[in-house]
Homo-oligomer: A and B are copies of this chain.
């Protein structure tokens, strides 16, 4: 596509570097902003600058936070004996949205993946070990991807901790609730049969 303006072309290029946004969508967004009368572009531009310059990370769990410690780490009502280990802030927010977990978190920032050049030192593993060495934590819930990289990361952390008293669990995986068996992928279905749970209906 030939653009009538270099400025428009630059904007479309920048917008289409965002994940999931192609050239056509970028052009639509750019034209929307050009003709917008409510100062959207200025607001958006300022909030993007703030995003990079003002945002902090919690010094304990490494989630995004405006303060030195995040509101989860400073909360008095949360169970400090359980830490849920996640890859990213998105995963943390997804678990928070369920309302089913009232413990603490630890954001690793990824999983060990030698092919992508991500070793243990690129992740927030040392700070996790320091947190556990304080002695308050009784359980670690590993909510990582069920991939070789995720499993490797769990294995590495467990070996490095070397604390037999610490309970380490992973989140349950299987066919999703409400999911039809015929549409479940083979690995999920196969594993959910191998790791079947006793029927609790007779209790």
The interface residues of chain B lying within 8 Å CB-to-CB of A63 are 4
Complex interface: stretch among A86-94, A152-160, A169-177, A183-191:
A86-94
Say if the beta carbon of A123 comes within 8 Å of chain B.
no
Q: How many residues of A contact B (CB 8 A)?
A: 58
Q: Is A182 on the interface with B (CB-CB < 8 A)?
A: no
Is A44 engaged at the interface, CB distance under 8 Å to the other chain? yes
Query: CA–CA, A20 to B32, complex, Å?
Result: 11
- Give min CB distance, A149 to chain B, whole Å: 17
Structural contact, B72 and A4, CB atoms closer than 8 A: yes
Q: Assess the B32–A42 pair: CB atoms within 8 A.
A: no
Of the listed stretches A51-59, A124-132, A195-203, name the one at the interface; the rest are far from the partner chain: A51-59
If A32-B18, A49-B45, A70-B4 touch, whether A93 touches B55 (CB-CB below 8 Å) is no
Contact mask for chain A residues 138-182; partner B; CB cutoff 8 A; 1 contact, 0 none: 000000000000000000000000000000000000000000000
Asked if A51 and B11 make an inter-chain contact with CB atoms under 8 angstroms apart, the answer reads yes
How many copies the complex holds: the figure is 2
Q: How far is B50's CA from A5's CA once the two chains are assembled, in angstroms?
A: 12
With A4-B71, A50-B7 already in contact, the answer to whether A27 and B93 are too (CB < 8 A) is yes
By secondary structure, the A interface counts as: helix
Within 9-66 of A, Cβ neighbours of B (below 8 Å) are at 10-11, 13-15, 17-21, 25, 27-34, 40-52, 54-56, 58, 63-66
The contact of A30 among B43, B51, B65, B71, by CB within 8 Å, is B51
> Can you report 11 residue pairs joining A to B where beta carbons are below 8 Å apart?
A4-B63, A4-B65, A4-B89, A7-B51, A7-B54, A11-B47, A14-B48, A28-B90, A31-B89, A33-B48, A45-B46
